[in-house]
């Protein structure tokens, strides 16, 4: 823990992955582990972990990288944090993100600009850009991230690390500052596939505080690592290799397909015909849920309050106008519009129907295949500043990751090589609750 903290103090002034470093408490916790010795029920004893700053930590500032929560100190731990602590892990700090996890480059952070670990002029991806950069720059071996539309897998791909998003409902969202509640999932960013397993095994499970968590007996998600891939049936959707995806990335994915075939799997082309509707449906659903979830930031209960306000309306309007950044406001406006009486049927309801079609596309493929592979992103990491003023281009960056969240599936991004000197990711997608196959294939590939 001490050497991790030293590493952070040397590397992070340039990378700026951490919003808060938990120096004193982490050292104290580590000392306690030293004194008590490693208990057998503590699989992560003494392991330094970084935590995305939209996951609440008792007594430690949790900002969601928003001015709204710049001084917010939670009075409780998220369930995932509680579980990590019980397993002996040490929280070394909180990582930067796009404000409230809305974005794909971490440039929407109200706090700082995180750099891509491979090229400091490029974005780390987002919204878990701080978590990805903290792992890729060698500061920690594991960081928690959150994935609503790709926010673990996309920054993992951009930084050449492994990003793991579990099935929706696998991990408790209690204490995760809500963005899109029907989409949000907590997962890991790690150097290696295997490093993710003990952390995921620790944080999964039913939680009385999150009614969407599923009651399944304790499972070892890594149980199939090392098993032969002979006979595994892999699908490659043609829509994931289409327009807008860099030719060099398509070539990397085709090379990956060959690699899987050499290991005994079969790879066949399939179709997910509704893929092109995923981004518009997602932005209606995610923004609608966000507009509802963000009502709690009213300048009264907690968080930022505007100065010199005269009326109650002023408290609401000015606190929200000054506390939220441009992208968050854009989502709130889009969401409240989609949910409004006059437009609900045309937008929110329609998007829900499209979501069902996208889910059925996956179900049909999974009737005949064990796994889907494709690129994680259409391009490698782009320059800081290049897309931040062009939200639509930014939104399209997530075209390959968003369908997975709409369907609630587990998925992973593993490093697949380099394009123009920047890392790119291979995305693996499995059936609901079949994380074991993801780890099996991911560990065989890396």
Scanning 101-109, 303-311, 336-344, 419-427 for contacts with ligand GLN by CB under 6 A, the matching segment is 101-109
53 binds ligand GLN (CB under 6 A): no
Residue 289 touches ligand GLN, criterion: CB under 6 A: no
Q: How far apart are CA 122 and CA 112, in angstroms?
A: 14
* Cα–chain center distance at 60: 21
- Tell whether residue 55 is a contact of ligand GLN (CB under 6 A): no
Marked catalytic residue, from 104, 105, 128, 151: 151
> Which is it for strands 48-52 and 90-95: parallel, antiparallel or unpaired?
parallel
141 within 8 A of 396, measured Cβ to Cβ: no
147 binds ligand GLN (CB under 6 A): yes
Q: Is 124 in the site for ligand GLN (CB under 6 A)?
A: no
Name 423's bridge partners. Answer: 418
* Residue of the chain from 109, 127, 131, 252 that contacts ligand GLN (CB under 6 A): 127
Site for ligand GLN in 170-189 (CB under 6 A): 179
Residue 150 within binding range of ligand GLN, rule CB under 6 A: yes
Size, binding site for ligand GLN by CB under 6 A: 13
321 burial type by CB count under 10 A (0-12 exposed, 13-18 middle, 19+ buried): exposed
Compute the distance between CA of residue 17 and CA of residue 35 in angstroms, rounded to an integer: 31
Specify the residue, 45 or 278, whose C-beta has the smaller distance to ligand GLN: 278
Q: What's the closest the beta carbon of residue 400 comes to ligand GLN, in angstroms?
A: 12
Tokens representing 257 are 């397909």
Catalytic residue among 104, 127, 172, 288: 127
58 classed as catalytic:
no
Is 127 an active-site residue?
A: yes
Cα 276 from Cα 3, distance rounded (Å) = 47
| Contact present, 97 and 130 (Cβ < 8 Å) | yes
- Which residue reads 């950069």 in tokens? 133
| Pick 46 or 280: Cβ nearer ligand GLN | 280
What is the residue whose two structure tokens read 């123009």?
420
What DSSP element (H or E) covers 262? Answer: helix 247-262
DSSP state letter for 391: H
On whether the CB atoms of residues 38 and 45 are closer than 8 A, the answer is yes
103 binds ligand GLN (CB under 6 A): yes
Nearer of residues 178 and 250 to ligand GLN, judged by Cβ: 178
Q: Residue 43 or residue 280: which is nearer to ligand GLN going by CB?
A: 280
| Identified binder of ligand GLN from the candidate list 45, 101, 133, 249, rule CB under 6 A | 101
Distance CA(95)–CA(188), nearest Å, equals 13
- Please state, in angstroms and rounded to a whole number, the distance separating the CA atoms of residues 181 and 173: 8
- Could you say whether residue 155 binds ligand GLN (CB under 6 A)? no
| Span from 15-23, 28-36, 95-103, 265-273 in contact with ligand GLN (CB under 6 A) | 95-103
Q: Is 151 an active-site residue? A: yes
Contact 256, 241 (CB under 8 A): no
398 binds ligand GLN (CB under 6 A): yes
Q: What amino acid positions are annotated as catalytic residues?
A: 52, 127, 151
Interacting residues toward ligand GLN by CB under 6 A: 101-104, 127, 147-151, 179, 286, 398
């Amino acid at each position: 823990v001490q050497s991790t903290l030293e590493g952070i103090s040397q590397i992070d002034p340039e990378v700026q992955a951490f919003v808060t470093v938990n120096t004193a408490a982490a050292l104290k916790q580590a000392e306690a582990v030293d004194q008590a010795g490693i208990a057998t029920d503590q699989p992560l004893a003494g392991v330094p972990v970084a935590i995305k700053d939209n996951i609440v930590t008792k007594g430690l500032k949790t900002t969601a990288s928003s001015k709204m929560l710049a001084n917010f100190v939670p009075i409780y731990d998220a369930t995932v944090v509680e579980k990590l602590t019980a397993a002996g892990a040490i929280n070394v700090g909180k990582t930067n993100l796009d404000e409230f996890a809305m974005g794909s480059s971490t440039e929407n952070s109200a706090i700082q600009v995180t750099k891509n670990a491979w090229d400091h002029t490029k974005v780390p991806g987002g919204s878990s850009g701080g978590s990805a950069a903290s792992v890729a720059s060698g500061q920690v071996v594991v960081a928690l991230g959150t994935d609503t539309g790709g926010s673990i897998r996309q920054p993992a791909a951009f930084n050449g690390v492994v990003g793991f998003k579990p099935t929706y409902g696998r991990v408790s969202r209690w204490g995760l500052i809500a963005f899109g509640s029907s989409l949000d999932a907590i997962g890991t960013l790690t150097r290696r596939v295997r490093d993710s397993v003990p952390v995921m095994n620790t944080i999964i499970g039913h939680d009385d505080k999150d009614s969407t968590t599923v009651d399944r007996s304790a499972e070892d998600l890594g149980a199939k690592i090392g098993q032969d891939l002979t006979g595994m049936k892999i699908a490659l959707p043609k829509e994931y290799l289409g327009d807008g995806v860099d030719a060099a990335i398509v070539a990397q994915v085709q090379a990956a397909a060959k690699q899987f075939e050499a290991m005994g799997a079969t790879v066949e082309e399939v179709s997910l015909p509704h893929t092109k509707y995923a981004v518009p449906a997602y932005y209606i659903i995610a923004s609608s849920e966000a507009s509802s979830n963000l009502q709690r930031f009213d300048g009264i209960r907690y968080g930022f309050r505007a100065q010199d306000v005269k009326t109650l309306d002023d408290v609401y309007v000015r606190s929200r106008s000054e506390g939220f950044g441009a992208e968050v406001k854009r989502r709130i406006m889009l969401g409240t519009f989609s949910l409004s009486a006059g437009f609900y049927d045309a937008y929110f309801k329609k998007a829900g129907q499209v979501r069902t079609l996208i889910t059925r596309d996956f179900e049909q493929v999974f009737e005949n295949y064990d796994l889907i592979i494709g690129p994680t992103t259409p391009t490698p990491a782009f320059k800081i500043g290049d897309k931040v003023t062009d939200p639509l281009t930014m939104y399209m960056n997530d075209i390959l990751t968003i369908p997975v969240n709409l369907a609630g599936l587990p998925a992973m991004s593993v490093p697949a090589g380099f394009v123009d000197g920047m890392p790119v990711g291979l995305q693996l997608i499995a059936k609901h609750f079949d994380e074991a196959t993801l780890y099996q294939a991911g560990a065989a590939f890396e």
